[in-house]
Amino acid sequence: AAVAVFTGRANCPYYAKAELLADYLQANLPNFRVHKITQHPDKWEQWLHDICEANGWEHRQSPVVWRELLDRGGKGQLLGGLNDFLEYAQQYYGITSMMLSEEMLDIAEENLQAYFEIVKEDEEIKSLIKPMQVWITSASSPICYQLIPLLASGEVFGMTTEISIHLLDTVQFKEVLCSIVMEAEDMAFPLLRSVSEHTEIDEAFVEADIIILLDDVLVNLEVQSLENYIREVSEICQVYAALIEKNAKSEVRVISSGKTFANLKAMMIMTYGPSIKPKNIIAVASSWESAAKAMLARKLNISTAGVKDVIVWGNVTGSNYIDLSHAKLYGYDSAIWGPPNFQRPLLNMIYDREWIRSEFLSAQSSVCSRVCRCAGMLPAHAAAAALRYWYHGSPPGEVVSLGVLSEGQFCIPKGIIFSMPVRFQNGNWEVITELEVDGTTQKVLGRLAHELVQ
């Protein structure tokens, strides 16, 4: 089936005459179908040039009429302008238009007013559906590649929230960013309004609602010292903080994620961006929490999902302590069974305490190295989970580890970013201060805090 496509300037009297004749033919002929494209007078010349160049046509006036062999998208066959269409209608259907010039001018004026009203209505509708602006730094990272589908699926922000994703990195990664953009667009996520790449630092974080900081620096101590890496990260975050204050929304939420310097990045953004609310800056600790749970699950031969309330204290991507004193097991195969919500203290189920003292605690360094070597799936899931909890609440009764600004809880010095147990509810997080901490753990926390202060 063929469709006739009519396009012209909104205020063109010849376009008005052509489209009214087309409406008459569509209403009275069984197989005559019409599609109209009305253009703003100021944009008409450029639009006509582009469409003719794309199709290899020669046409210079309004309107332009063509036939498509398939409904809006098939190969186009140019019919021409008004006179060509009138001749076509006369020869094929024996119908012509007797519209006078004065009537053509009146209808053209009406068309222009109707066009402006439609444009205004569309803009009002779009203004009501404001997508959440999500910025991701170091977006050439494999973590970003894994993170985009999680953010765009609707599971993080909800199935009614559209998002626009902005990928930020240096110009040397522009080609990588363009490839990621095209692939994300090809996946056609219903809630992904747009995805764009940015390599100009001055345009970073414009209107940002969410900023996810990934790894700007990948540590290789054979190349340079740790002190130099720390200085480099601090300088980058100083630039970021100024741009966040300048360009982002006042309630912007900043998530320090990735495999390195999570606490440091959060602390530097807070230090150099004093107008950013401290409650809106967090460091994600879930990767280490999940890796520890998996190790425990293998020891106990249960599903990793059955291990809950493992706490990561301290420097998320540095010196930290994995605390099992509050950990629980669900669905553990033992002599005692209960309903799905029946839980057992984890330490009561591991009879080999020597394994905890030696293998598990000594394996914490291997947990750290495994997270740092991972391809990106684990940190991406951790960042997405933290955002989902922030907007929709964490599972009731569960403890979540999160790097946040200390206010003196658990005798940790004020003013440092420290991973500690929190819960998410009502769009905010709060430290679970009622959690009991034994003397041994308190000493470890003091040592970890001292290292961070240093």
* pLDDT tens-digit map of 142-188: 999 999 999 999 999 999 899 999 999 999 999 999 999 999 999 99
Q: What is the pLDDT of residue 356?
A: 76
Q: Is the dihedral of CA 202, 232, 372, 449 positive or negative?
A: negative
Burial class (CB in 10 A: 0-12, 13-18, 19+), 334: exposed
pLDDT for res 2: 61
Contact 4, 33 (CB under 8 A): yes
The whole-number pLDDT of residue 369 equals 56
Answer whether 231's CB lies under 8 Å from 402's CB.
no
In whole angstroms, what is the distance from residue 193 CA to residue 132 CA?
A: 9
Q: In what order do the strands lie in the sheet with 328-330?
A: 307-308, 328-330, 343-345
Question: How many whole angstroms separate alpha carbon 279 and alpha carbon 271?
Answer: 13
Using an 8 Å Cβ cutoff, are 403 and 413 in contact? no
Q: How far apart, in whole angstroms, are the C-alpha atoms of residue 114 and residue 38?
A: 10
3-state secondary structure of 363: coil
* Confidence at residue 365, expressed as pLDDT on a 0 to 100 scale: 60
Q: Taking every pair of C-alpha atoms in the chain, what is the biggest distance, in angstroms?
A: 99
Residues in the chain: 454
User: Tens of pLDDT along the chain (454 residues)?
Assistant: 568 888 999 999 999 999 999 999 999 988 888 989 999 999 999 999 999 988 889 999 999 999 886 655 556 788 999 999 999 999 988 988 888 889 999 999 999 999 999 999 988 877 777 899 999 999 999 999 999 999 999 999 999 899 999 999 999 999 999 999 999 999 999 999 999 999 999 999 999 999 999 986 665 555 677 888 889 999 999 999 999 999 999 999 999 998 889 999 999 999 999 999 999 999 999 888 998 899 889 888 899 999 999 999 999 888 889 999 999 999 887 767 777 788 888 888 887 777 777 777 666 665 555 555 566 889 999 999 999 999 999 999 999 999 999 999 999 999 999 999 999 999 999 999 999 999 999 999 999 999 888 7
> In the 8-state DSSP scheme, what is residue 395?
P
Among residues 240, 243, 252, the alpha carbon closest in space to that of 276 is found at 252
Kindly give the interhelix angle for 82-93 and 13-28, rounded to the nearest 10 degrees. Answer: 20
Catalogue the E-assigned strands of 81-218: 132-136, 163-168, 192-198, 210-213
CB atoms within 10 A of CB 73: 9
DSSP letters spanning 412-435: PPTTSEEEEEEEEETTEEEE-TTS
Model pLDDT, residue 86: 92
Q: Which residues are within 8 A (CB) of 249 and not within 5 positions of it... i.e. 6 or more apart? A: 133, 207, 208, 209
Element (H, E) at 353: helix 353-355
* 7-40 confidence digits (pLDDT tens): 999 999 999 999 999 999 999 988 888 989 999 9
- Report the candidate in 281, 339, 347, 366 with the shortest Cα–Cα distance to residue 309: 347
Pairing mode, strands 76-80 and 400-405:
unpaired
Domains by residue range for the chain, with CATH: 3-126 (3.40.30.10), 131-281 (3.40.50.720), 286-453 (3.90.110.10)
Contact between 115 and 98 (Cβ < 8 Å): no
CA end-to-end distance (rounded Å), the chain: 75
Whose CA is closest to 142, among 383, 386, 385, 400? 383
User: Pseudo-torsion of CA 376, 286, 139, 209, nearest 10°?
Assistant: 150
